[in-house]
Structure formats: C-alpha cells, structure tokens
Amino acid sequence: MGEGFYVAGTLLDMNRQFGASSEQRDLLRFLTCGSVDDGKSTLIGRLLFEQKLVLDDQMAALARDTRKYRPDDEIDYALLVDGLEAEREQGITIDVAYRYFATPKRSFMVADTPGHEQYTRNMVTGASNAELAVLLVDARKGLTAQTCRHANVVSLLGIRHVVLAVNKIDLVDFNEKGFAAIRDRFSALAEPLNFKSIVAVPISARHGDNVSTRSERTPWYNGPTLLAFLENIEVSDERAAAAFRMPVQAVSRPHANFRGYSGTIASGKLRRGDEVAIAPSLRTTRIERILVGADELDEAFAGDAVTVTLRDEVDVSRGDVLAPPRGLPHIGAQFTAHLIWMGEEHLLPGRAYVLKLATRSIGASVTEIKYRIDVETLAHTAARTLEMNEIGLCNIAVSQPIVFDPYSENHTTGAFILIDRTSNATVAAGMILHGLNRAETVRPQALSVTKTERIRLKGHSPALVWFTGLSGAGKSTIANALEARLNAMGVHTLLLDGDNVRGRLNKDLGFTDVDRVENIRRVGEVARLMLDGGLIVLCAFISPFTAERRMVREMVDEGEFLEVFVDAPLELCIARDPKGLYRRALAGEIRNFTGIDQIYEPPAAPEVVLQSGSGTPGELADFVIAELERRGIIGPQP
C-alpha cells in the first residue's frame, strides 16, 4: 500500500499538499478510540477516501489488499490505516497510527488508537496530545468495559470534547431507539467526567452514513455529520492562556562567548526583557535574547522551541523550569496523582522507579494507593496494588524536590511517566492532582555528635552486610556466626533477622509481593539509621526481588553495602526444611512461598557468594570478614 494519501511530516508540508496556510485553516488534533472491532480504522479510512485523498493506484492496491486479507468483504478502508502485518491479518489496531488530512475548512491530525485492553498504553500515547476524542461504539453491543475505560482515560488526560460515534448502525436496521439508548447511557456515564461537549452521531463507517454526508437512512437524526462537527467545533488552546513555563532541555555552549538554554515553551508566552525565575532554586534574572536557530525574536509562544540567553550569570541545568516570579510552579518531593498502570507486572508500592516529568528524570516510588477507580462505574475501591490497565489515585514521592503543576493547569509540567529501572520499560502514565507538603515541613535535626565522630569512637567503618538467598539456605546461621566473630574482635554490630523483624516491627505485613517490598523498605530505613550510629549491620532476609535489594543499596553511602548471596539449590533447601515450611508450601497450606509459588531473583553481581554446605557457618563467615578487611571497613586481625 502506498502512503501518498497523507504527508507524514510538518503542518507546513501538509498545507503545501492541500494548498492552504496555517493562518487560513487551524489544526484539530483528535483520536479515535473504543473497543476492538468497533470500526476505528475503517472510519479514518472512509474519511480519507471521501476527501479524495486516496489516489487511483492506492485504490487498486487497497482492492488487492482487501482480496488478500478480507476475501469475502467489500473494499476494507481499515487497510488504509492498519500498516502492521499483524494488524491486517487479525483485523485489529495494535500500534498508534497518525494520519493527516484537510478539508476546505480545517486541517486535521488523527491518532488511530488500539481497542484491545492489552494495548491501553498505546491508546494513552495517542490521547496525550489530542484535543477531541471520537469514541466509537458498536451499535449491536452498546457500551463495553473498554468503552468506559477509554472514556475515563480521555477525561483524565484532559480531553474535554467527545464525539460518541455509534457505528454499524446499518447492522441494527438504523434503529433510532437503540441509538438513543446508547446515547443516554453514555451521557449518564460521562456526567462526572467533566466533558465540555458530547455529541452522539449514528454512523456506518463502512458505507459512509453520516460520516461526511447526511444519510437518508436516518431521517430521525437532526444533528451534524461527523465531519461537519469536526470542522466547526471550537477547541481553544489552553496553553496560550496558562502561566509561562519552559522546561530546560539543554545548556547550549557552542563557544566560550555564548551560553544559552534550550527548550520548548510549554505554556504562556515570553518576551525579551521579561523577568523569570529559575525553579527550583528561585533565582531571578531577565531574558536577554530569544533565538530560533540564527534568528532572533522579540517574543515566543507556547509550542515554540527556542534558545534563550539571560542577563545574569545564574546556575541553570537541564530539568530546571523557567517561570514568572509571580506565577511560580509547585516545588516539592511528594504529590498525589492519577496513575494509569501499563506494566505487565503489577504496581508494588515502595519499589523504586524512574519518574520522567518534562525534561527531568529522578528516582521515585509510590508511597500509597489511595483507591482504585472502577472503570465501568467510576466507583472508588480499596487497593494495595494496580494491575495492567487499572487506574488509581496514588501518592508519589521523589528522591529530590522537583518542579510541577497540577495537570489540570498545565499538561506538560503536570504529566509524567514511571519507568522500570531494570527493563527500562514505561510502566505507568501519571497526571498530578496536587502537591503534598508532608516532608517539606520536616527538617533534619542538627546533632552534636556526627556520624564521623561515632566512627572514630568505634574504630571501624559502618557497613550493611545483606545476606540473601532461599529459605533454608543458611543465611541466619551464617550471619549469626559472623556477628559472634566480629564481636569477639571488638566490632560493634547489630543483626536484623527476617523472622525477628517480622515478629515485631513488621508484624502487620504478610507475604504478598506488596508486603515483601514494604518489609525490605522498612528494614533498609532502620539499617540506615544504624549506619549513622557507626555500626556494622547484618541483615538476613530472603529479599527475593533484585529491585528492592538495589533500593536498599541506594539508601546508604557508596561502599557501605555488601550483598552476600548464600547460594543453595532449591532441592537442598527442601531437603533441609528446618521449619517445615517447604512441606506446608508444597501441600498448598502456605501461599506466596519463595521458590515454590513465588519467584526468587538471584543477585547478578554480589560482593560475596557463599556456597551453602561447602563449609561450617564459621568458615563461611570468615569469607565475609576477609572481604570487610579487604575494603578497609575493619582492620586486619593478627
């Protein structure tokens, strides 16, 4: 299939194609969404065909493709949009397809998004820059759970105009009552979603009824055709009216006599001479020059990519945000946000992720799931985790204060993604609701006795020796032997054992993934306090997840964390079974037991590996002592 029916490029290219300037016709960005097989791709293909944007050779190719993939079908206009082989074979949309077209009244950029639940993440991508949503519903099926999910996502992403396209109206004999029932039910569903406009249109994307021209087969419908509505809907660009924001993407230093700061203006406008504050430092200065390439401008607007120079020498880095001093964004380390979970593995509160907001990337974790949103009823339900495609309201904490706005005020500085630190996959999209000032009101108390003085008093450096391995591998036994040897050497220690901590500090936690993460997070915080006291802390925990062991490593200073992997085959641990836990787990009496129905992720590069059973506990402990001596944490023994 050729691609000449659209120009994948700039708006300028598109205007050349259709013979109009951007001043003559404005651009409307919209998306199509809805359940699978509701006809999204067919609708876009039909729009392109009816605007005479499909050339003769492309129509011939479309006819051949239809015979190949739909041998019993008429011309399948969906094949104009579905470019992936898997999409054509299955008749579904998997990736987001962007298409440009224009009419004498308006230019359009449409995102065709997938309907399958597993591809909700792609639908979020398509919706992120849209101003209007065309939500398709199969007239035979009515509203589905995916229809409700997409409506909710569209609302969360700030889209305020919706067209409910009741498709395949021909397959229900153009039934007016059926159309009215779907329209009324959606109106009730959408009432709390704060849409500014909702228009329901009965269409047949396959045959063109009410797509570009009014259908004689729906004499009972008095509203606009889909295209007429899209041509005439007034969608204001809220970015222009919002306060000025420019996240700094790069510091430009081509030579010693020039220092500029590059980025795209997210909202508002900027003039030469304007006073700006650099967030989060809040240092103020004025704009000296505004540059686009070699051209110098007097002012720039939302959406413009510019480089600015400043009158004063101030510290500005990537991730900082330029803003007006009397319209500052929020600065904080905690906030509440709606989270759309996209990861195949469920959300684990307390686990460390990477948060990317505008041009800033920083460590973050979900500290609390306040509730999950039922996508069909919009009811709020209690939740300890979020599964793929679920939506929840969560509290987020980042490792350092960042600059943000509520998403309702600024989509660029109010939206973020969460990235898995191991796979680098995007696992969530978030929209900030408001900031939390909990941690910002708490400041560390200055102490007279410092960590350095405690270390000097004890005569050795602090360290966190983290024993990990399967239950029954011998972690606690070896750690106990190590502590006895260190105490005999005059070393100040503290042993935190998994069972002992579970019985006191963490007695409220179970053994689900969520509880295991919280268990390790709490232990890491306690261990960090003990390191401040100058102690060598020994921790013996199964700690099955790599991410949580890394989280604890990053809590402490460089060089203070030693991971000790007590390596024992599962068969050996089952044979030992000192507490009878494996026997009960294999009998189904214990759930979420590591090694049986719970995974264990072995360390990739531990500081010490101990082969369980290769020596006595004391002999194995000596290997750890040797590593502590090699690192200079304790002095060599005579």
What single string gives the DSSP state of each residue in 142-209? Answer: ---HHHHHHHHHHHHTT--EEEEEEE-GGGGTT-HHHHHHHHHHHHHHHGGGT-SEEEEEE-BTTTTB
Same domain, yes or no, for 486 and 547? yes
Answer yes or no: are the C-beta atoms of 245 and 320 closer than 8 Å.
Answer: no
The catalytically annotated residue of 212, 543, 612, 614 is 543
| Model pLDDT, residue 200 | 96
Mean pLDDT of the region 33-44:
81
* Residue that finishes a domain, picked among 266, 293, 323: 323
* Residues 34 and 115: beta-carbon distance below 8 Å: yes
The answer to whether residue 130 is domain-embedded is yes
Q: Could you tell me if residue 205 is inside a domain?
A: yes
Confidence of residue 537 (pLDDT cuts 50, 70, 90): very high
The two structure tokens encoding residue 484: 């006895």
3-state secondary structure 321-355: EEECCCCCCEEEEEEEEEEEECCCCCCCCCCCEEE
Q: Are residues 307 and 375 in the same domain?
A: no
User: Tokens standing for 576?
Assistant: 């030992």
281 in the same domain as 344: no
Q: Pick 399 or 57 by higher pLDDT.
A: 399
> Which of the residue ranges 244-258, 274-288, 500-514 would you say has the lowest mean pLDDT?
500-514
Strand-pairing partners, residue 138, are: 167
pLDDT tens profile 329-385:
999 999 999 999 988 889 989 899 999 999 999 999 999 999 998 877 788 999 999
pLDDT above 90 for 279: yes
Percent of the chain with pLDDT over 70: 86
Look at residue 8 and tell me whether its pLDDT is greater than 60.
no
Same-domain check for residues 279 and 401: no
292 - beta bridge partners? 295
Residue listed under structure tokens 């401008």 = 297
The verdict on 83 and 194 lying in the same domain is yes
Nearest Cα to 119, choosing from 412, 340, 369?
Answer: 340
Strands 415-419 and 353-357: antiparallel
Instruction: Say yes or no to pLDDT of 87 above 50.
Output: no
The answer to the question of residue 6 being in a domain is no
Which residues constitute the domain of residue 347? 330-436
Contact residues for 402 (Cβ-Cβ < 8 A; gap 6+): 280, 319, 331, 332, 333, 355, 357, 360, 362
Residue 552 confidence (pLDDT): 93
User: Helix (H, G, I), strand (E, B), or coil: what is residue 189?
Assistant: helix
Q: Are residues 56 and 173 in the same domain?
A: yes
3-class state of residue 246 by DSSP: strand
Query: What is the pLDDT, as a whole number, of residue 383?
Result: 92
5 within a domain of the structure (yes/no): no
| CATH number of the CATH domain containing 572 | 3.40.50.300
Which is nearest to 108 in space by CA: 283, 220, 225, 235? 235
In which band, very low, low, confident or very high, does the pLDDT at 153 lie, cut at 50, 70 and 90? confident
> Percentage of residues in the chain with pLDDT exceeding 90?
54
Instruction: Name the band, by pLDDT with cuts 50, 70 and 90, for residue 494.
Output: very high
Residue 61 neighbours by CB under 8 Å, 6+ apart: 1, 2
Closest by CA position to 108, among listed 266, 269, 226? 226
Structure tokens at 573: 């641990």
- Give the model's pLDDT for residue 120: 60
Q: At what angle do helices 145-156 and 120-127 cross, to 10 degrees?
A: 40
Alpha helices in 19-90 (DSSP H): 40-50, 56-69, 85-90
The model carries a pTM of: 0.76
- What gap in Å lies between CA 231 and CA 204, rounded to an integer? 19
The pLDDT, as a whole number, for residue 77 is 53
- The answer to the question of residue 580 being in a domain is yes
From 291, 323, 355, the end of a domain falls on: 323
Mean pLDDT of 592-599: 87
pLDDT at 229 over 70: yes
Per DSSP, the three-state class of 488 is: helix
Q: Which amino acid is at 68?
A: K
Looking up residue 307, the CATH number of its domain turns out to be 2.40.30.10
Could you tell me the two tokens for 620?
A: 């194995």
pLDDT at residue 559, as a whole number: 92
Distance CA 400, CA 397 (A): 9
Tokens encoding 377:
């009823």
Q: Name the residue with higher pLDDT: 25 or 427.
A: 427
User: CA neighbours within 13 Å on the CB side: how many for 73?
Assistant: 18
Indicate whether 143 and 110 sit together in one domain: yes
Q: Are 135 and 143 spatial neighbours (Cβ–Cβ below 8 Å)?
A: no
Q: What is the pLDDT of residue 439?
A: 47
State the average pLDDT over residues 127-143.
Answer: 89
For residues 361 and 398, membership in a common domain is answered with: yes
Claim to verify: residue 39 and residue 142 sit in the same structural domain: yes
Domain assignment of residue 638, yes or no = no
How many helices (H) and strands (E) are present in the chain, helices listed first? 18, 28
Q: Angle at the Cα of 438 (from 527 to 353), degrees rounded to 5? A: 60
Give per-residue pLDDT as tens, 394-437: 999 998 899 999 998 998 999 999 999 888 888 999 999 999 87
Residue 586 lies in a domain: yes
pLDDT at 571: 92
Predicted local confidence at residue 100, as pLDDT: 83
Q: Does the pLDDT at position 246 exceed 60? A: yes
Give the pairing type, strands 107-112 and 27-34: parallel
User: How many residues comprise the chain?
Assistant: 638
pLDDT at 585 > cutoff 50: yes
What is the per-residue burial (b if ≥16 Cβ within 10 Å, else e) of 518-531? Answer: bbbbebbebbbebb
Indicate if the pLDDT at residue 63 is higher than 60: no
Alpha carbon distance 260, 254 (integer Å): 9
Structure confidence at residue 157 (pLDDT): 84
Residue 183 pLDDT > 80: yes
Choose one of 173, 204, 236: the last residue of a domain. Answer: 236
| Residue-averaged pLDDT of the chain | 84
Residue 132 and residue 56 share a domain: yes
Mean pLDDT for 384-390 is 89
pLDDT at 42 over 90: no
- Of the pLDDT bands very low, low, confident and very high (cuts 50, 70, 90), residue 50 is confident
The three-state secondary structure class of 76 is coil
Backbone phi and psi for residue 494, each to the nearest 5 degrees, phi listed first: -145, 130
Buried b (16+ CB within 10 A) or exposed e, 71-107: eeeebbbbbbbbeeeebbeebbbbbbbbbbbbbeebb
161-167/132-138 β-pairing: parallel
Number of domains into which the chain is organized? 4
Whether 2 is in a domain gets the answer: no
Residue-by-residue DSSP string for 92-145 = ---S-EEEEEE-SS-EEEEEE---SGGGHHHHHHHHTT-SEEEEEEETTT---H
Which among 450, 449, 531, 542 is positioned nearest to 492, based on CA atoms? 531
Q: Catalytic annotation on 543?
A: yes
Task: Mark whether 30 and 160 lie in a shared domain.
Answer: yes
In 342-390, the DSSP E strands lie at 353-357, 360-373, 380-381
Task: Using the structure block, give the residue that is written with the tokens 């699978």.
Answer: 36
Structure tokens at 609: 């590996």
Asked whether residue 15 falls in the same domain as residue 105, the answer is: yes
